[in-house]
Structure 1
Amino acid sequence: MKKILLATSALVAFAGAAAAEVTVSGSARMGLVYDGNDTEFSSRIRVVFKMAGETDGGLAFGASVRADQAGVANSGGTAMSAGTVFISGAFGKLTFGDNDSAANVLVGHVSGVGFTGLGDYNELGYLGNTDTSALYEYSTGALSFALSAGQTTATVVTPTGVIDEQAVAVAAKYSTDTFSVALGYEQFGDDEQVTLGGSATFSGATVKAVVADRDSWADTHYALSVDYAIDATTITAFYTDQGPIDTYGIGAAYDLGGGASVLGGIVDDGFDTIAEVGLTFSF
C-alpha cells in the first residue's frame, strides 16, 4: 500500500535522537449490493493515520487511528474503543487500546467474499476484549505467541446478565511458507472458548479451516475456505456451520494493479441469497 509521508521531525531534546514520522494511508470502495430484496448503491472511504518513532535504546513506539474515530481515540482513557498505542523491542510488542483478542489475532478467520464482506458470514466469532484492552505479542522463528486482557474493571451487559469480569485470552501459532496451525483459548466471565485454525498452500490453492467451541453455544462451529489464484484472479469459496445455520459463499477478485481491484460474491446466509459486485482501492 502506498503511503504518503505527512511529517518527519527530528527529536531535538538531545543529540542523536531517532526520527519520528506520521504517515497516512487510505481505502475506498464502490459498487452494487443486493440484500435479497433490493439492489442498492454502496460506497465508503476510510483514512488511517499511523505514527512511529524509536528511542535511543532501540525501542520502537507508535500509534494508529482511523480519521473518523479520532475523536473517540482522543478521549481514550479507560474506555478507548478506537485506535491503538504500542511499544516494542526484543521483549515483543505491547499494545493498548482497541485490540482484538489474542485468539482472534493468531487464529483469525477463513476467507470471505465480496467487496464489503457480505455480512462477514465467514467469521465464527470470538469472545473478544473490553476497551481499553492490552495485547502482548512475541515471535521467535516460526512460532508466535499472544496474550490479551480486557479492561480490569469491565462491566458488560450480556443476554445472560451483567458480567463484571476481565476478558482474557492466550494463543500460539506455528507458521511456515506452506502451512500454519494456531490454537487460542479465551475466558470471559463463566464463558470459555477454544479455537483451532490451520491453513495450507499448494499448487496455487490455499485452504483454511477454523473450529470454535464455546461453552454458551449448543454446538461446535466450523468454517472452511478455499482460495485459488490464477494470475491476477483469485477465486474464493467458503462454508460455515454455526449450529442451526449453514452459510455458503463464492466470489472472485481481480487485481487491476496500482491498488485497485474488482470483487464480487454471492452468499446464501441460511435465509436469503445476497450478492454484490464492486471496486476497491488502496492508497
Structure 2
Amino acid sequence: MKRILFTTTAIVAFAGAAAADVSWSGSAELGHNDDINGGLYADGDLDVTMSQELDNGVTAGVTFGFDLEDASADTLDTDGNFHADDNFTLFLESDMASLYYGDTPFAAETYWNGVTNMEEDSFSEADGEVVLRGAMSYGGFDFGISNVVHNDKFALGGTGSGEVDQLSLGAAGEINGVSVTFGYQEEAENDFDGNGDFNGAEVYGLSVGTTVGGADVLFAYASDDGEESIGLQGSYAVAPGVTLTAFYVSESRPVDPTDTDIDEDGEDNYGLAASYANGPISVDAFYHDGGDEDAGVNVSYDVGNGLGLLAGWSDDDGQYVAAEYDLGGGAAFVASYAEDEDNNQNDEIGPQEYLHGTTVALTLSF
C-alpha cells in the first residue's frame, strides 16, 4: 500500500519535471566497541531529497532514505533489492501553506513549548507512524493540523485502509513581545506499537512567555485526560557567559503509593540549571527533584586544531569521557568510554549518545 502510494504520488508530483533538484546526504561509521557490538561494526545512512518548483510558486518534493546497517537482514528483500527506510515524506510547500505525508511530526509536538518536566504535556511524538500534516502562516502565527494514518505495520487494530486517527492541532506566534504556543490532541481510537512516546489520551496545553527585567519567563498549563500541570520557568544571564534557569511545576495527579520507582508521578517537579561558556570551555549542570530526581553535568573543552575533549555524568544516564578529532570534510575520529548508570548496555549515554563501553570510531558525513 505504501509503495503504491509513493509511486503514484511521485509520478503526479513530478510529471513533466525534466530537471528536478536532487540532493544527497548521508553518514557512515566504522568502529570498534568492546561491549555493544563485541568488536568491529559498520553502519551508514543515505538520504535523498527530490524537489521541483511548480508554476504556481508551490514546491513539490519527496524525501526518502536507505539504512545500510545489516543490509542483509533489514533492508534487502529476497531478490537482493534495497528497501527504503520508513522516513519517506511527500511534501508540497509554499510561503503561506504546506502539506506533508509520511515521516513528519504531529502538529501539537511541532509547536508546543512547555516548562521543563511537566508531566501532563504528554503530546504524542511521531516515531515510525505515517502522519498527514498541514501547516500555514498568518498574522505572525504558525498553525498546524495533523492526523495519524493507520496501517498494518504500526497500528494495533488498524485495518491498513488508510483511515485517520487522533486529530492534533498546534500554533505558535508572538503578540506585542509575548510568545504564545498552543497544542491539542484528541483521544485516539487505537494505540501504536513500537512507539513508547505515543499517547492515546486527550491532551491540551497553553503557554505564554515574555521578558521581564532581563529574565526570560515562561508560564504553561497542560491537561492530560483531566490531570493538570501548571508550570513556571525563568532564565537569567547573571554574568557574561553564565545563565541560570529555575522551574517549578505543580502536578495534580495523585502519587501512587504502590509505585516503587525513585521518580514518583504526581509529585511536584522543580529544579535548577546553570550554563557557562567562555572561549574553549563550556559547562552545563542541572539538578531536578520531586517527581523526577536527577542531577548531572556536561563539560567540553576545545583544545584547538580540531581536537575536543568531553566528559559528563548524570544520575539517570551514567558517565562518559571522550575525545573527538575533526579530520575536515565531514570526517571525525572519536574515542570514548561510557558506562550506563543501570548497566543497560543498549542505552546511548550523554548528549552525544556514546555507546556503552570503550569505542573508537571513524565517522563520516556528507
Q: TM-score, normalised by structure 2?
A: 0.46
Deviations 1:73-96 (A, max 9, x none): 45xxxxxxxx897857458x8878
How much identity, in percent, do the aligned residues show?
Answer: 17
| Residues 188 and 223 (structure 1), Cα distance of their counterparts in 2 relative to 1, 3 Å cut | same
Q: Distance in 2 between matches of 1:264 and 1:145?
A: 36
**1:129 aligned residue:** 124
**1:119 aligned residue:** none
Q: Distance in 1 between matches of 2:30 and 2:242?
A: 26
Question: 194, 209, 230: which one pairs with 1:194?
Answer: 230
**1:211 aligned residue:** 248
Q: Distance in 2 between matches of 1:57 and 1:210?
A: 47
| Residues 108 and 61 (structure 1), Cα distance of their counterparts in 2 relative to 1, 3 Å cut | farther
**1:184 aligned residue:** 220
**2:301 aligned residue:** 254
**1:267 aligned residue:** 314
Q: Which has the higher contact order (CA 8 A, sep 6+)?
A: 1
1:153 aligns with 2:188: yes
How far off is 1:227 after superposition?
0.6
How far off is 1:236 after superposition?
1.5
How far off is 1:252 after superposition?
0.4
Structure 2 contact 108–170 (Cα < 8 Å) conserved: no
Amino acid at match of 1:144: S
**RMSD of aligned C-alpha atoms?**
5.1
**2:25 aligned residue:** 24
Tell me the SS of whatever aligns to 1:128. Answer: coil
Structure 1 contact 225–238 (Cα < 8 Å) conserved: yes
How far off is 1:261 after superposition?
4.6
Amino acid at match of 1:24: S
Q: TM-score, normalised by structure 1?
A: 0.56
| Residues 150 and 207 (structure 1), Cα distance of their counterparts in 2 relative to 1, 3 Å cut | same
Amino acid at match of 1:263: L
* Segment drifting more, 253-262 vs 198-207: 253-262
How far off is 1:224 after superposition?
1.6
How far off is 1:229 after superposition?
0.9
How far off is 1:234 after superposition?
0.5
How far off is 1:26 after superposition?
5.6
**1:106 aligned residue:** 113
How far off is 1:221 after superposition?
0.2
Deviations 1:9-68 (A, max 9, x none): xx7859xx9x86646366989999xxxxxx967999785858596666666787878866
Select the structure that is richer in strand: 1
Structure 1 contact 100–128 (Cα < 8 Å) conserved: no
How far off is 1:212 after superposition?
2.5
Structure 2 contact 282–300 (Cα < 8 Å) conserved: yes
Structure 2 contact 247–271 (Cα < 8 Å) conserved: yes
How far off is 1:203 after superposition?
1.6
Q: Distance in 1 between matches of 2:215 and 2:61?
A: 31
| Residues 190 and 223 (structure 1), Cα distance of their counterparts in 2 relative to 1, 3 Å cut | same
How far off is 1:235 after superposition?
1.2
How far off is 1:134 after superposition?
3.9
How far off is 1:275 after superposition?
1.4
| Residues 191 and 274 (structure 1), Cα distance of their counterparts in 2 relative to 1, 3 Å cut | same
Q: Distance in 1 between matches of 2:48 and 2:304?
A: 24
Tell me the SS of whatever aligns to 1:106. Answer: coil
Q: Distance in 1 between matches of 2:215 and 2:30?
A: 31
Q: Distance in 2 between matches of 1:21 and 1:140?
A: 35
Q: Distance in 1 between matches of 2:227 and 2:185?
A: 14
How far off is 1:108 after superposition?
5.8
Q: Distance in 1 between matches of 2:201 and 2:242?
A: 42
Q: Distance in 1 between matches of 2:30 and 2:250?
A: 34
Q: Which has the greater radius of gyration?
A: 2
How far off is 1:164 after superposition?
6.0
Q: Distance in 1 between matches of 2:236 and 2:42?
A: 33
